[in-house]
A and B are shown apart, each in its own frame.
Chain A
Amino acid sequence: MDFVSENADLFVDAFLATLGLSLLAGLLALVLGTLLAAMRVSPVPPLRGLATFYVETFRNTPLTVVFFFLIFGLPQIDFVIGFFSGAVLSVGLYTAAFVCEAVRSGINAVAAGQAEAARALGLTFGQSLREVVLPQAFRTVVPPLGNVLIAMVKNTSIAAGFSVSELSSLLPRLVNADAGDLTLVLVGVVVGYMVITLPSALAVNRIERRVAILR
């Protein structure tokens, strides 16, 4: 028990770092991912091409490489960002590609008649997307979006290798200090992640039931 009380501050700080990183990156991923999805279904070919290029680039690149590029690559062209903001950007930009594809699958699931009816009423493309298509699309993609975001929370652990003192960075630190406490450290780190992911999963289930479309 000494071990837990001695290192409580460390665990709290690391947990907050993981939580902050997850919230900021998640927000960035949701906003950017939705924008990208809108671009991919838009009638403007260059926008479609750009979004497709983005998605394929980030979806097919290991996250560690994205980190390397933002943290060590950009400074080579004199564009230095902080380590924490670099981590938020890396995880957010990477996850946006997956959010985009989840949202796009939702858009495709909305019956074509809905969009046609919206256009027939005189709504512009943007209006029909905002008012008619996206609200229905989001309702159908709650479970896959939940998956993407929970995976993202776990992906934030890569930031430990890039100078962000988040939960999994406690493993090497505390284990090196005293390898006898390995099990306790592991349990602490796992609990830390679960405190974030389990309620997220529950929230996803609840939202899913509440917004489900009765067909």
Chain B
Amino acid sequence: MRITRYAATLGAAGLVLAGCASEAGQQAEQAASEAPEVAQDAEFPAGTTMAELAEAGTITVGTKFDQPGFGLANPQGVPEGFDVEVAKIVAGELGIAPEDIEWTETVSANRESFIQNGDVDIVVATYTINDARKQLIDFAGPYYVAGQDIMVATGNPLAIEGPDDLAGKRVCSVEGSTPAQNIRDNYPEAQLTLFDVYSKCADALRNGQVDAVTTDNVILTGLVQGGQGAFELVGNPFTEEPYGIGLAKGDDEFRAFVNDTLEQAFEDGTWAAAWDRTAGAITGTEAPEPPMVDRY
């Protein structure tokens, strides 16, 4: 009984604090109202991944920790961004609260093996759906379609308007990324400079060691943001990169469940709201039309 009384007192104190008209209080309230709904009485057929996760009350999500707007770790080490919000929507549908999600950093090169080894339950990490990857894992979604774009120094001194203008120019990207391979295959006259992370590309562009940086527009947007006026986006996407949620191969029930959850979020506006307070807040753009979920 005593414990209950303590809890009640604490709860009351919390209410009083929340009631304060301070800015922090308002922000906290706002965040609470924006957080995706957590299903209270989630019930799933026994034996499914959904039932297991709901039973465990926790889910391990792989995401990027270095991608502004999508998955960027805050100073406390907790990632924030659009990918993170999408993962919270899925977890919420399983009855798992955001604070019970375990975040694991995944980088481009280890996402498949993390899923295959069971280190993570799902991967939401600017993860382009393609056939080679479908051999190893399965994708739910897409939940967003990005496109490859070009970033140049402010004022665009070399007048680069699209990928065809890259011939003979020094173009920077990251080794092992789909955009780099696309330049190799389709624009072989561009001189590729390849680093291991995009921040080095930004440094090289700032120093004039390269003429342009190319990758998905969402990644470039983060770099433009961090460049403090040194860079600008050409704004002419020339590929389609559908971002999906990676999960274990052959788990069709779980994939159907995630697809249903995404479609529901597209319809009821939680998806658009998630965009507005993450990536949309950085780019200043409205949420795009939701993509069509691909139930292959």
**A interface residues with partner B (beta carbon < 8 Å):** 72, 75-76, 80, 83, 160-163, 165, 169, 171-180, 182
Most buried by B among A76, A80, A172, A182: A172
**B interface residues with partner A (beta carbon < 8 Å):** 108-109, 112-113, 132-133, 135-136, 174-178, 180-181, 193-197, 200, 203-204, 207-209
CA distance A90 to B208 in the complex (A): 20
Give, as a whole number of angstroms, the nearest-CB distance from B143 to chain A. Answer: 21
- Does B175 contact A173, Cβ atoms closer than 8 Å? yes
CB closest residue in chain A, given B207: A75
CA distance A121 to B26 in the complex (A): 90
CA distance A185 to B252 in the complex (A): 30
The 5 closest A-B pairs by CB, nearest first: A172-B176, A75-B207, A179-B112, A176-B176, A161-B196
Set of chain B residues within 8 Å of A83, measured between Cβ atoms: 193, 209
- Does B207 contact A169, Cβ atoms closer than 8 Å? no
CA distance A80 to B196 in the complex (A): 20
- Does A177 contact B196, Cβ atoms closer than 8 Å? no
- Does B207 contact A176, Cβ atoms closer than 8 Å? no
CA distance A83 to B209 in the complex (A): 9
CA distance A173 to B173 in the complex (A): 12
Give, as a whole number of angstroms, the nearest-CB distance from A196 to chain B. Answer: 21
Give, as a whole number of angstroms, the nearest-CB distance from A40 to chain B. Answer: 35
Q: A75-B207, A162-B195, A162-B200 are in contact. Are A175 and B181 (CB under 8 A)?
A: no
Set of chain A residues within 8 Å of B195, measured between Cβ atoms: 161-163
Q: A72-B200, A75-B207, A163-B194 are in contact. Are A172 and B109 (CB under 8 A)?
A: yes
Give, as a whole number of angstroms, the nearest-CB distance from A19 to chain B. Answer: 19
Set of chain A residues within 8 Å of B113, measured between Cβ atoms: 179, 182
Residue of B136, B178, B196 touching A160 (CB-CB under 8 A): B196
CA distance A171 to B197 in the complex (A): 14
- Does B132 contact A75, Cβ atoms closer than 8 Å? no
- Does B176 contact A173, Cβ atoms closer than 8 Å? yes
- Does A80 contact B208, Cβ atoms closer than 8 Å? yes
A72-B207, A176-B108 given; name 16 further pairs at CB < 8 Å.
Answer: A72-B203, A75-B209, A80-B207, A161-B200, A162-B200, A169-B194, A172-B174, A173-B175, A173-B176, A176-B176, A178-B132, A178-B135, A179-B133, A180-B132, A180-B135, A182-B113
Residue of A80, A160, A171, A178 touching B209 (CB-CB under 8 A): A80
CB closest residue in chain A, given B112: A179
Set of chain A residues within 8 Å of B180, measured between Cβ atoms: 173
Set of chain A residues within 8 Å of B209, measured between Cβ atoms: 75, 80, 83
Most buried by B among A83, A173, A180: A173
